[in-house]
Amino acid sequence: MKNKLLLFVLTAFILGSCGTSVDNSFTIKVDAEHVDGKKLTLEKRANGEWIKLDSAVIAEGTATFSGEILDPEMYFLNLEDVRAAYGFFAEPAEITVKLDAQNTRESITTGSATQDRYMAFLQEYDVYSNQLREFGQAYRQADLNGDEQAKTDAEQAYEAVEAEQSAFLVNYISENGNDVVAHYMLFRNSYLFDLEELEAMILHFDPNAQSAYSKEMFDRVGTLRKVAVGQPFVDFEQADPDGEMIALSELVGEKYLLIDFWASWCAPCRQENPNIVAVYQDYKDKGFDVFGVSLDTSHEKWLEAIEADQLTWSRFGPCRMGQCCRQALWRAIYSTQCAVG
């Protein structure tokens, strides 16, 4: 009798489990005043690209989106004719966004527990950001006034607060390894940290609480390991302006080779180009060469930038390793140059 009862209970449990499904649906109701007729687009960022999820036209001050989402993710609302997008954490829930079209930063999201935790973090984090803004303004004012002592004081104060903010961020990420908010904040600020620092922080990530952002960080660490000092270079080939294919491995040898990742639209890259040109002119006859890798998607703008910046070395071309190449190099290497001997 006991065995029959146990069999009945197990059968009922199994059948009940088979009929159970996880509800991953979400609803986002957007309240936006005085913008009727404007198009509102729901998007997210993935692999460095904007991905359109849905769109709606605001009518009578509202617009509604619905769909399914497995894990909490940062979604963005883009309002027609408004440059600044509003980001918030979406998750399986009924979410309401009170969208301020005049100042998207003042928009308010309710119904998302992840967003609540995110806003609680930002409330503390922004204390440092506000101080940094104040000291930055003080530095600029002192510079205008020609007050060197005030400039020094503002610079030292800025650096001290910057160190405090960084320590706060690292501590938060390390103590909240199972929270997507911590994953996202590391993802957003990963360029601030070197490989060892990133590795130390992702060690605190709970493997049972993975997110899109923790996966990005594990991928980034893996990429950084591959391009770390002392590691063999990753070979690739690309076409030069004349269409001739050339591989990196063809250039690595006795010469000192500078691999320069740049783009016509990258202001810091363009500002650095004259310095690279000067070094190239001084040392090209002494075993120094440059291999330029452009992240441009416009062939015309790429050629225009080459001519304008007087990039006279012959070995350069647009990145042809696909979209993943542009994202991996831009994120993993981040700076515009790395050296290969």
CA 158 from centre of chain? 24
* CA distance readout (Å), 96 to 26, 66, 88, 294: 11, 12, 11, 42
Which stretch of 69-78, 176-185, 220-229, 308-317 has the lowest confidence by average pLDDT? Answer: 308-317
pLDDT-above-70 percentage for the chain: 85
Q: Are 92 and 69 in contact (CB under 8 A)?
A: yes
**Dihedral (Cα; 156, 162, 166, 167), 10-degree rounding:** 50
Q: Residue 31 and residue 9: Cα distance in Å, rounded?
A: 49
Query: Average of pLDDT values for 230-251?
Result: 79
Helices 212-226, 195-202: inter-axial angle, 10-degree rounding: 140
Could you tell me which residues come within 8 angstroms of residue 10 by beta carbon, excluding any fewer than 6 positions away?
none
Q: What are the helix (H) ranges across 82-211?
A: 113-145, 148-175, 180-189, 195-202
Give residue 317's pLDDT band: very low, low, confident or very high (50, 70, 90). Answer: low
191-203: per-residue pLDDT in tens?
889 899 999 999 8
Q: What are the helix (H) ranges across the chain?
A: 2-18, 113-145, 148-175, 180-189, 195-202, 212-226, 267-283, 299-308, 323-332
**Short-list 276, 195, 262, 206, CA closest to 229:** 195
Could you tell me which residues come within 8 angstroms of residue 312 by beta carbon, excluding any fewer than 6 positions away?
277, 280, 281
pLDDT higher at 255 or 132: 132
Here the tokens at position 303 are 């050629």
Residue 10: is its pLDDT beyond 90? no
| Domains of the chain, earliest start first | 25-111 (2.60.40.180), 115-226 (no CATH), 237-340 (3.40.30.10)
